[in-house]
Amino acid sequence: MNKTFTITVDGVEHTLSADPTMPLLYALRNDLGKKGPKFGCGLAQCGACTVIHEGTAVRSCVFPVAAVTGNVRTLDGLGTADNPHPVQQAFIEEEAGQCEYCIGGWIMTATALLEKDPDRSDSEIREALAGLKCRCGTHMAILRAIKRAAGQMRS
């Protein structure tokens, strides 16, 4: 049975009618037209669907819409072409994306991590990124980009 939910996504409040168990990813893509979070595996194993919920990176493919209690940030609302978020800018500078299907999950995970504390060790960065998948193999460029972003966010 559908219920009415009011959720804030990228700073804009939305009201939608949905089954409480529906994954947030479906609401974001199908109801709100967000294209940043992608459907990858549907099992929270790849990270393509990652968004930031109340400062924490979550896999929206398994995060029920009923669990949304505060602001959700998506790649769509992170930065703009003219004013990218520091993590987005670092990914551009390091040319960290190849096919870019998964890159939103990496950017959102790194953003959540670095916004809490940009002074992260290599092992903390690697631990936060555990479970994210990139079939193109740009992992080293991704790590360089995250370190670059951390340096920019410290200043």
Q: Is the pLDDT of residue 62 over 90?
A: yes
φ, ψ at 78 (rounded to 5°)? -75, -50
Average pLDDT in the 6-11 region? 98
**Across-strand partners of 57?**
52
User: Which tokens belong to 21?
Assistant: 């168990």
Average pLDDT in the 54-59 region? 98
Question: What local confidence, expressed as pLDDT, does residue 42 receive?
Answer: 96
- State how far the Cα of 81 lies from the Cα of 89, in Å rounded to an integer: 9
Average pLDDT in the 146-153 region? 97
Which of 132, 147, 149 shows the shortest CA–CA distance to 41?
Answer: 132
Question: What local confidence, expressed as pLDDT, does residue 144 receive?
Answer: 97
pTM value > 0.75? yes
Q: What band does 35 get if pLDDT is binned at 50, 70 and 90?
A: very high
Strands ordered across the beta sheet of 50-53 = 12-18, 3-9, 71-73, 50-53, 56-59
Average pLDDT in the 116-129 region? 96
Alpha carbon distances (Å) from 69 to 48, 60, 97, 141:
22, 14, 32, 34
Q: What band does 25 get if pLDDT is binned at 50, 70 and 90?
A: very high
Q: What domains, with CATH codes, occur in the chain?
A: 3-77 (3.10.20.30), 86-154 (1.10.150.120)
Question: What local confidence, expressed as pLDDT, does residue 155 receive?
Answer: 80
